[in-house]
Structure 1
Amino acid sequence: MAKYTEWITEEGLLKIEGWARDGLTDKQIAENMGVAYSTFRDWIKRFPALSAPLKRGKEVIDRQVENALLKRALGYEYVETTKELTDLGLTVTKQVTKQVAPDTTAQIFWLKNRKPHEWRDKKETEVTGNLNVNNPFSDLSVEELRKLASRDG
């Protein structure tokens, strides 16, 4: 069974950070380390040396995904290059600038998460004032109510 001390080396911490940066889940990282997920979670709580590289690695991939989502939401241009095999090897025969239209689903997702008060689907309405209920039996005792109930039954 792997020990904590095997993972606080420079090499071990780099591996953990790299796995997090590659997008592996904590459970997958624990498997790569050869420890149970519950042990891994315990180590993360007890040993800051392990949690720091894990956090750093996740921040990198989270930023990349955020940037990709934003790029998709806004649309972008890219150059498509066509190459053909000639006597001189692969030769560029054509370059075309193409556009990817903004993606409304990405825009909605971004806005609902970044500006939830303005963009979420569920709207909350505050109601003020009093609600008056006319209850003709409010002054009756429990005994009087039971008599009425037995008469109606």
Structure 2
Amino acid sequence: MTAKGKASAKPVGRPSRYKEEFCEQAKKLCRLGATDKEMADFFGVAVSTLNLWKKNHPQFSESLKAGKQMADAEVAEKLFQRATGYSHPDVHISNFQGLITQTPITKHYPPDPTSMIFWLKNRRPDLWRDKPEPEGDDGKVLPVKVEISVKDARIRDDDQPNAKQAAS
């Protein structure tokens, strides 16, 4: 309080370590796949401080989003290439009797079934999930009812050799 009874405009607490150049650095870190924990370590702050910077500095938050979107788009493109197959130019280098030759070639990679499955299950789970679940009239998933009789359980137990018989 000043002499006239008004509150002073002096900030309370430690000054922020945030700097404007952190925006570009954070964007580059996100492009490399850095997590919030890794970025906090890079800037020498706690994750909670990084979260505070996101909240108090919209340009910092936007640079993080932009970096993550660019990295995600690049990974999605590579996954799509793996799922659909692709070709690229290359050079074959060979050595025959001391003569080194370089031959331009095109390498072909066939579609990868695992990438196809991953892509389809994530992009269209309504059509490609492993086990479609039955839905009720209200759109909610109905529980699957499994019934087993005591007779079925006994038959299964009789099919399994018990430990004493197996030991002899």
Under a length normalisation based on structure 1, what TM-score does the superposition of the two structures give?
0.69
Matched-pair contact (CA < 8 Å) for 1:4–1:43: no
- CA displacement 1:46-95 (0-9 Å, x = unmatched): 3312211000111111000000000000001122203469xxxxx86212
Bigger share in helix: 1
SS in structure 2 at match of 1:126: coil
- 1:74 pairs, out of 84, 98, 112, with 84
Q: Hey, what does 1:108 align to over in structure 2?
A: 117
1:22 to 23, 32, 38: 32
For 2:146, the equivalent position in structure 1 comes to: none
Correspondence 1:122 to 2:131? yes
Is contact 2:22-2:60 (8 Å) kept?
no
Alignment partner, residue 46 of structure 2: 36
CA distance in 1, matches of 2:61, 2:94: 49
Please give the secondary structure, in 1, of the residue aligned with 2:18.
helix
Match 1:96 to one of 79, 94, 105: 105
User: Aligned equivalents of 2:117 and 2:15: distance in 1?
Assistant: 46
Q: CA RMSD in A?
A: 2.3
Amino acid paired to 2:66 = R
Q: Provide Cα deviations, 1:29-56, integer angstroms capped at 9, x if missing partner.
A: 1110110112212322333122110001
Residues 127 and 84 of structure 1, relative CA distance in 2, 3 Å threshold: closer
Q: Which has the higher contact order (CA 8 A, sep 6+)?
A: 1
Alpha-carbon distance in 1 for matches of 2:133, 2:16: 49
SS of alignment partner, residue 135 of structure 2: coil
In 1, are the aligned partners of 2:30 and 2:67 still within 8 Å (CA)? yes
1:81 alignment partner AA: V
Equivalent residue of 1:6, what SS?
coil
State the distance in 2 between where 1:52 and 1:18 align: 13
Aligned counterparts of 1:75 and 1:114: Cα–Cα separation in 2: 18
User: What 5-or-longer segments of structure 2 have no aligned partner?
Assistant: 1-13, 138-168
Question: 1:119-146, CA deviations, whole angstroms, 9 ceiling, x for partnerless residues?
Answer: 0113111367xxxxxxxxxxxxxxxxxx
The answer as to 2:18 corresponding to 1:6 is yes
Residue 108 of structure 2: SS of its match in structure 1? strand
Q: Does structure 1 retain, via aligned residues, the 8 Å contact 2:92–2:104? A: yes
Q: Which amino acid aligns with 2:73?
A: R
Q: Percent identity, aligned pairs only?
A: 38
Q: Is the 8 A contact 2:92 2:102 kept in 1?
A: yes
